[in-house]
Amino acid sequence: MTISVTDLTVRYGEKVVLDDISLDIVHGKWTCLVGPNGAGKTTFLRALLGMAPYSGSIKDRGHEVFKNHKRNVAFVPQSPQIPQGMTVAEYVMLGRSKRDGWGNDSLLSREYVHKVLTQTHLFGMQTNLVSQLSGGEMQRALIARALAQEPELILLDEPTSALDLHHQISVLNNIELLKENGVTIISTMHDLTLAAMFAEEIVVIKNGRILLSGESNFVIHSSELRKAYDDRIDVYTLESGRPVVVAKKKGLI
Amino acid sequence: MMSTEHGAISRIWNWRITAFCALILLAVAIMAVSFGPISINFFKVFKTLFDLPGGSTGQDRTVILELRLPRVILGALVGAALATSGAVYQTVFHNPLADPYLLGAASGAGLGATIALTSTHHDLHAALPIFAFAGGVLAVFTSFVISGKFFADPNSLLLSGIAVGSFATAIQTYLQQQHSAALRPVYSWILGDLTSATWSVVAWSSIYIAIALVILFTVAKQLDGLMLSDEEAYSLGITPKRLRIIAVAAATLATATAVSASGLIGFVGIVVPHLVRGLTHRVTNRSLISIAMAGAAFLVLADLGARTLLSPAELPIGVITAFVGAPFFLVVLRNRRKVMQ
């Protein structure tokens, strides 16, 4: 039960964005892709989604993923296109289209959306327009739509980047809910402390190559992680054993 | 409206709205056939239309069946085509101000019509619809090709549409200045009219418009996915590029047909979709059938105004659509803002 990535290369025109990557991602776990901006993390997610043309192979449970619409994969983008005039209920309902067929509104789906809205604390806002939601509410609406999809795999691009600390934790807890239902989670994340706290596996990417991948506590304390960030980070361990990653400032210890 | 019942959210779209639009269209159509320089009794019209006993005979029957009915049907077809295309363009381009003429369809058709009217061969004048149709389709196709990468990015298509449109308008103006005698017919065509409606015009335009509308209604539910980013749409089971091409091609077919049958009737493509969405508070493309019927009713009503207000003279229908549409539109916009606050 893995997603096997073999010799994956993705090019945008002349530019090589992902360079000969091989990796096994275990289903049922939370895997986090980390690395500096421009490392190729989002492109990797697009390739895993099956949308970006690639050479090499990505096999999900033995099936090539490119343009394979049989998989049920949810995608949560970093900056979503916000549809003007659409209500929260309509927006979350879109997530049911793969289960239910487009625009069927079956009773089961409407009950499911009701449940998901409650779970993500959006219930009561279902008639609000998505264009008028705050950053945190919008992120929850995105997660709610992904939950409504009942996916086997969810891909999240920087799910916490626009949020304050309180909302970051609440969104990540919502994502963790999915794991209890056996959903595989692959996310990118800038905040390494949060990545170490939630993800079980971490993959370090730089310049389109994988520097290291493995169990998150191991990766966080590795020298490869520091190398990925040009040795500009420090890793501390709290008394509880939790790692904390902070940026270095010149002249400070 | 979207209250909860038994722990479920309520339906996103309600068939009652669709039924209501159908009723309005039917009522407006019968009214439009009844009114005119010769007024004919409502019930008589109804009986004549459905070939029931007690219908009109003689001159009245000719007026109903040969003059008014084809005109009402053409108006309904053109209205439905423009309103639906407008709604589809607005979804595809994520732009509430997009209208069916956006990709150069109008300017291309205008150029085609001008070429036909300024031609020295008078036989070509009768071929105006063909020229207009070809001009419109050719302009949109050129926009497609120039935008490159065949539709990867809707914005580049939009910009190349504007460029192609300006280019076509420039040639059109040049031709008009050269042939000043053709100015008047060109302008009356540009303002739009349904006076040319005969059964033969209805016959050929209904084929193309019906094909386009059937395609658009078939993909209508999926079009909601295009309101999201391509990755999100893809994850919901859509192939966004392909769906965009299908939608824009069908909308262009409908628009080019409408333009070649009745000239440039402005405002319908923007006003009607917003009107239906504003009144129902639903942005979903499941409303596409309702938008089509509302567009049909709107144009039939506007045409009724065009031929009765200054009777026996006729007003260009574009004047009516703007004159009635604009204030009505502003009221809906204002109300919608109130709801949002």
Q: pLDDT tens digits for B224-275?
A: 999 999 999 999 999 998 998 899 889 988 998 898 888 888 888 988 998 8
Looking at the predicted structure, is the pLDDT value of residue A253 above 60?
no
User: What three-state secondary structure class fits A106?
Assistant: coil
Phi, psi for residue B270 in degrees, rounded to 5: -95, -45
Give domain status of residue A94, yes or no. yes
Give domain status of residue A217, yes or no. yes
Looking at the predicted structure, is the pLDDT value of residue B1 above 70?
no
Are A250 and A229 in a shared domain? yes
Least confident of A33-37, A58-62, A79-83, B33-37: B33-37
As to burial, measured by CB atoms within 10 angstroms (0-12 exposed, 13-18 middle, 19+ buried), residue B178 is: exposed
Looking at the predicted structure, is the pLDDT value of residue B336 above 70?
no
A125 → chain B, closest CA residue? B2
Contact A90 B12 (CB under 8 A): yes
Band of residue B4 on the pLDDT scale cut at 50, 70, 90: very low
Phi, psi for residue B167 in degrees, rounded to 5: -60, -45
Chain B (57-116) residues lying within 8 Å, Cβ to Cβ, of chain A: 94, 96
Q: Give the pLDDT of residue B285.
A: 86
Give dist(CA B106, CA B137) in Å, integer.
10
Are A111 and A227 in a shared domain? no
Residue-wise pLDDT tens digits, B284-318: 888 999 999 999 999 999 999 988 888 778 888 88
Q: Using a CB-CB distance cutoff of 8 angstroms, which residues of chain B are in contact with residue A81? A: 94, 227-229, 232
Are A181 and A165 in contact by the 8 Å Cβ rule? The answer is no
Are B72 and B296 in contact by the 8 Å Cβ rule? The answer is no
Looking at the predicted structure, is the pLDDT value of residue B81 above 70?
yes
Q: Using a CB-CB distance cutoff of 8 angstroms, which residues of chain A are in contact with residue B235? A: 49, 73-75, 149, 155
Q: How far are the Cα atoms of B33, B75, B87, B299 from residue B262, in angstroms, in the given order?
A: 18, 8, 20, 11
Q: Using a CB-CB distance cutoff of 8 angstroms, which residues of chain A are in contact with residue B13? A: 103, 105
Are B79 and B318 in contact by the 8 Å Cβ rule? The answer is no
Q: Give the pLDDT of residue B338.
A: 57
Considering A101, A133, A150, which residue would you say is the last residue of a domain?
Answer: A150
Q: Using a CB-CB distance cutoff of 8 angstroms, which residues of chain A are in contact with residue B243? A: none
Considering only CA atoms, which of A193, A180, A182 is closest in space to residue A32?
A193
Considering A119, A150, A181, which residue would you say is the last residue of a domain?
Answer: A150
Residue-wise pLDDT tens digits, A152-198: 999 999 988 878 888 888 888 888 888 887 899 999 998 899 999 99
Phi, psi for residue B251 in degrees, rounded to 5: -65, -35
Give domain status of residue A26, yes or no. yes
Give domain status of residue A48, yes or no. yes
As to burial, measured by CB atoms within 10 angstroms (0-12 exposed, 13-18 middle, 19+ buried), residue A164 is: exposed
Looking at the predicted structure, is the pLDDT value of residue B86 above 90?
yes
Contact B225 A115 (CB under 8 A): no
Cis bond before residue B312 (omega within 30° of 0): yes
Q: Give the pLDDT of residue B315.
A: 85
- Strands A209-215, A233-237: pairing is unpaired
Q: Give the pLDDT of residue A251.
A: 57
CATH value at residue A171:
3.40.50.300
For residue A111, what are its two tokens?
Answer: 């009950």
Are A118 and A171 in a shared domain? no
Q: How many CB atoms lie within 10 A of CB B42?
A: 13
Are A248 and A232 in contact by the 8 Å Cβ rule? The answer is yes
Give dist(CA B85, CA B28) in Å, integer.
22
How many separate domains does chain A show?
Answer: 2
Q: What is the dihedral of CA B89, B94, B95, B100, to 10 degrees?
A: -10
Are A98 and A206 in a shared domain? no
Tell me the one-letter amino acid at A15.
Answer: K
Are A144 and A194 in a shared domain? no
Give dist(CA A253, CA A248) in Å, integer.
8
Looking at the predicted structure, is the pLDDT value of residue A7 above 90?
yes
Are A103 and A179 in a shared domain? no
Contact B229 A94 (CB under 8 A): no
User: A252 versus A68: which is more confidently predicted?
Assistant: A68
Which range has the top average pLDDT, A92-101, B5-14, B38-47? A92-101
Percent of chain B past pLDDT 90, that is, above it, reads 28
Looking at the predicted structure, is the pLDDT value of residue A43 above 90?
yes
Are A4 and A21 in a shared domain? yes
Contact A103 B227 (CB under 8 A): no
For residue B248, what are its two tokens?
Answer: 């824009």
Length of chain A: 253
Contact B12 A69 (CB under 8 A): no
Hey, is the C-beta of B234 within 8 angstroms of any chain A C-beta? yes
Average pLDDT, chain A: 90
Give dist(CA B173, CA B107) in Å, integer.
11
Q: How far is A8 from chain B (nearest CA, A)?
A: 19
Residue B275, Ramachandran bin (φ over 0: left; ψ between -120 and 50: alpha; else beta): alpha
Q: Which of B9, B281, B283 sits opposite A126 (nearest CB)?
A: B9
Q: Using a CB-CB distance cutoff of 8 angstroms, which residues of chain B are in contact with residue A74? A: 235
Give domain status of residue A24, yes or no. yes
For residue B28, what are its two tokens?
Answer: 């407006």
Give domain status of residue A46, yes or no. yes
Q: Give the pLDDT of residue B2.
A: 46
Domains defined for chain B, CATH in brackets = 13-35+42-48+57-340 (1.10.3470.10)
Q: How many CB atoms lie within 10 A of CB B119?
A: 17
Q: How far are the Cα atoms of A104, A170, B3, B17, B218 from residue B20, in angstroms, in the given order?
A: 21, 44, 21, 5, 21
Q: How far are the Cα atoms of A105, A120, A193, B76 from residue A112, in angstroms, in the given order?
A: 10, 12, 33, 40
Q: Using a CB-CB distance cutoff of 8 angstroms, which residues of chain A are in contact with residue B221? A: 97, 102-103
Q: Using a CB-CB distance cutoff of 8 angstroms, which residues of chain A are in contact with residue B94? A: 81, 83-84
User: What three-state secondary structure class fits B216?
Assistant: helix
Looking at the predicted structure, is the pLDDT value of residue B193 above 80?
no
Q: How far are the Cα atoms of B47, B80, B100, B168 from residue B22, in angstroms, in the given order?
A: 20, 12, 23, 38
Q: Give the pLDDT of residue B251.
A: 92
Rg (CA), chain A: 19
Q: Could you list the residue range(s) of the whole structural domain that residue A142 is in?
A: 81-150
Are A239 and A208 in a shared domain? yes
Q: Average pLDDT of B22-33? A: 93
State the sign of the Cα–Cα–Cα–Cα dihedral A15, A21, A26, A32.
negative
Strand pairing partners for A2? Answer: A26
Give domain status of residue A76, yes or no. no
Give, to the nearest 10 degrees, the angle between helix A107-119 and helix A135-148.
140
Q: How far is A83 from chain B (nearest CA, A)?
A: 5
Least confident of A42-51, B85-94, B191-200: B191-200
Contact B237 A74 (CB under 8 A): no
Beta strand ranges found along chain A (DSSP E): 2-12, 15-26, 30-34, 55-60, 63-64, 73-76, 153-156, 184-188, 201-206, 209-215, 233-237, 243-247
Q: How far is A116 from chain B (nearest CA, A)?
A: 10
Picking from A110, A130, A147, A183 by the largest number of B CB atoms within 10 A of its own CB, the best residue to mutate is A110
Q: Give the pLDDT of residue B5.
A: 52
Residue-wise pLDDT tens digits, A12-29: 888 999 999 999 999 999
Give domain status of residue A104, yes or no. yes
Picking from B232, B337, B339 by the largest number of A CB atoms within 10 A of its own CB, the best residue to mutate is B232
Contact A98 B236 (CB under 8 A): yes
Are A26 and A126 in a shared domain? no
Q: How far is A73 from chain B (nearest CA, A)?
A: 6
* DSSP structure class, residue A187: E
Average pLDDT, chain B: 85
Looking at the predicted structure, is the pLDDT value of residue B339 above 60?
no
* DSSP structure class, residue B28: H
Are A123 and A240 in a shared domain? no
Band of residue B206 on the pLDDT scale cut at 50, 70, 90: very high
Least confident of A34-43, A71-80, B330-339: B330-339
A106 → chain B, closest CA residue? B11
Considering only CA atoms, which of B338, B218, B223, B326 is closest in space to residue B274?
B326
Are A99 and A172 in a shared domain? no
Are B136 and B259 in contact by the 8 Å Cβ rule? The answer is yes
Band of residue A60 on the pLDDT scale cut at 50, 70, 90: very high
Looking at chain A, the number of H-run helices and the number of E-run strands are 9, 12
Considering A124, A150, A176, which residue would you say is the last residue of a domain?
Answer: A150
Are A61 and A161 in a shared domain? yes
Give Cα B8 distance to the centre of its chain: 37
For residue B88, what are its two tokens?
Answer: 């589809």
B222 → chain A, closest CA residue? A102
For residue B96, what are its two tokens?
Answer: 């509430």
For residue A147, what are its two tokens?
Answer: 């939950």
Hey, is the C-beta of B338 within 8 angstroms of any chain A C-beta? no
Hey, is the C-beta of B44 within 8 angstroms of any chain A C-beta? no
Q: Which of B8, B232, B286 sits opposite A80 (nearest CB)?
A: B232
